[in-house]
């Protein structure tokens, strides 16, 4: 039995946090930045100040010029810098060069120019992607307590952060679109579908092949998160808050009573939180010296 697990109906209705709370002062730093998160399929770009993301956009990662133009549209806000995080090595160089050319600003990159300042319990060498660290950092900055963070994109990740903000790792699952593509590729009789075509809410039973596949993708994602949440809660001896983010979060989890919050652009929030922590650490080192 999961310790402190809420009974059915005790969860608050899933909320969409478009305006994130200010969080701890640890994560508040003056000035605006252009945050760029390069992922496997799409790249997110937004203007970040403290834990607030505005004017966010998403373009294909294979289109560096579009990424750079989206970033350049934010220059009227007088940002201090461009911060880039990438898990797509093939796209990173071209995007970084396009950003420098289009914005006229230097581009600082996590993993190359600076670390992601989050404590973890992972063995060396650490192989976890920067996206998971940043999403975890962003989630902890927003809620300020232990949490399970679900990032629903090409892959679906489900990670645990304890009450001290320490990242413990988690699981990587096929994302909803990837599930649908795998079925169509390996079973020729099944149609090719887009996860974006999923109706909301889905009926209890899939009455057509298309709806059965969409229901299966949603059920697989939700079932995985429930199973993992029970594992993590058993370790933590409490039931952490569950937050979802990512391009497919709404489609997969919007009416799921297990997920308390859907937070858009959590990776961009994590970039802002990382910058704030790094600035605070530098200031603290200077004071001590």
Instruction: From 114, 146, 171, give the residue that closes a domain.
Output: 114
Q: Which domain holds residue 12?
A: 1-24+118-282
Q: Looking at the domain assignment, is residue 289 inside a domain? A: no
Instruction: From 62, 82, 114, give the residue that closes a domain.
Output: 114
Q: Looking at the domain assignment, is residue 287 inside a domain? A: no
Q: Which residue is catalytic, options 65, 113, 131, 285?
A: 131
- Based on the fold, state whether residues 102 and 186 are members of the same structural domain: no
Task: Tell me whether residue 131 is one of the annotated catalytic residues.
Answer: yes
Q: Which residues contact 14 (CB under 8 A, 6 or more apart)?
A: 253, 254, 255, 256, 257, 259, 260, 261, 262
Confidence of residue 7 (pLDDT cuts 50, 70, 90): very low
- Based on the fold, state whether residues 3 and 94 are members of the same structural domain: no
- Based on the fold, state whether residues 197 and 67 are members of the same structural domain: no
* Tens of pLDDT, residues 182-210: 999 999 999 999 999 999 888 999 999 99
What's the chain's average pLDDT?
Answer: 89
- Based on the fold, state whether residues 73 and 94 are members of the same structural domain: yes
- Based on the fold, state whether residues 70 and 156 are members of the same structural domain: no
Instruction: From 114, 141, 159, give the residue that closes a domain.
Output: 114
Confidence of residue 280 (pLDDT cuts 50, 70, 90): confident
Q: Looking at the domain assignment, is residue 288 inside a domain? A: no
Question: Which residue shows structure tokens 């403290």?
Answer: 50
Q: For the residues 205-220, what does the mean pLDDT come to? A: 97
Number of domains in the chain: 2
Q: Which two tokens stand for residue 214?
A: 């969409």
| CATH number for position 68 | 3.30.420.40
In the predicted model, is pLDDT for residue 139 greater than 70? yes
Are 263 and 245 contacting, i.e. CB atoms less than 8 angstroms apart? Answer: yes
């Amino acid at each position: 039995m999961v310790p402190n697990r809420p009974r059915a109906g005790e969860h608050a209705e899933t909320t969409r946090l478009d305006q994130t709370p200010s969080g701890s002062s640890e994560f508040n730093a003056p000035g605006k930045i252009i945050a760029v998160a390069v992922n496997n399929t799409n790249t997110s770009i937004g203007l970040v100040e403290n834990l607030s993301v505005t004017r966010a956009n998403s373009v294909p990662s294979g289109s560096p010029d579009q990424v750079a133009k989206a970033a350049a549209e934010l220059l009227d806000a007088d940002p201090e810098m461009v911060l880039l995080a990438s898990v797509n090595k093939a796209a990173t160089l071209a995007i970084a060069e396009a950003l420098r050319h289009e914005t006229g600003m230097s581009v600082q990159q996590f993993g190359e120019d600076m670390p992601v300042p989050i404590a973890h319990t992972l063995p060396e060498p650490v192989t976890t992607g920067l996206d998971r660290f940043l999403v975890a950092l962003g989630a902890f900055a927003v809620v300020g307590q232990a949490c399970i963070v679900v990032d629903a994109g090409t892959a679906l990740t489900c990670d645990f952060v304890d009450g001290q903000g320490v990242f413990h790792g988690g699981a990587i699952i096929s994302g909803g679109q990837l599930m649908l593509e795998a079925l169509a590729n390996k079973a020729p009789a099944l149609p090719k579908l887009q996860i974006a075509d999923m109706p909301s809410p889905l009926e209890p039973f899939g009455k057509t092949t298309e709806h059965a596949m969409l229901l299966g993708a949603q059920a697989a994602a939700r079932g995985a998160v429930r199973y993992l949440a029970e594992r993590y809660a058993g370790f933590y001896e409490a039931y952490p808050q569950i937050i979802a983010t990512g391009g497919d979060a709404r489609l997969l989890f919007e009416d799921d009573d297990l997920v308390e919050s859907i937070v858009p652009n959590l990776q961009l929030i994590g970039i802002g939180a990382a910058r704030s922590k790094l600035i605070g650490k530098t200031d603290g080192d200077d004071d001590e010296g």
